[in-house]
Amino acid sequence: MRLLLISDTHLPARARELPPPVWAEVAAADVVVHAGDWVDVALLDELEERSKRLIGVYGNNDGPALRARLPEIARAELGGVRLAVIHETGAKQGREQRCDARLPDTDVLVFGHSHIPWDTVAPSGMRLLNPGSPTDRRRQPYCTYQTCRIEDGALVEVELHRLPRRG
């Protein structure tokens, strides 16, 4: 099972559209995971239409229309992997311990908010992944997203992808 992980797209505020490589990954993915800060409901509509399966949450920049359609925390069991998705996890210091306490019985947590790619393992063994942002790099050198696969009940081949700088 192939997953695409994205967050903090901020459309159309930070970009007019998702970059073509991300749309190519949407087409290839069995599951698209979006960890919030969509900003406009049009992207949710388009991802729902173009994804085989979409799992998403709202972020702090998402208004009533998105909050009416998306949860604060999403959970799914994918090929034996217990996935949770949330937008904010707080400061980086102590993140793994806070997430362990807040989200027990989770194998993989996908989060966003910071626009900073993240890949760590909590004391419980939970994998914490932040794909960064494919449209707003902030102080990061590149816009990013992640892909991974689930095989035999395990998360494998987690890869951070850098997008070419625009303009």
pLDDT in tens, the chain (167 residues): 999 999 999 998 888 899 999 999 999 999 999 999 999 999 999 999 999 999 999 999 999 999 999 999 999 999 999 999 999 999 999 999 999 999 999 999 999 999 999 999 999 999 999 999 999 998 899 999 999 999 999 999 999 999 987 65
Q: What is the set of domains in the chain, with CATH numbers? A: 2-162 (3.60.21.10)
Pairing of β 108-110 and β 81-86: parallel
Question: Cα-Cα-Cα-Cα dihedral of 131, 118, 157, 23, to 10°?
Answer: 10
Q: What does pTM read for this prediction? A: 0.97
Alpha carbon distance 115, 54 (integer Å): 20
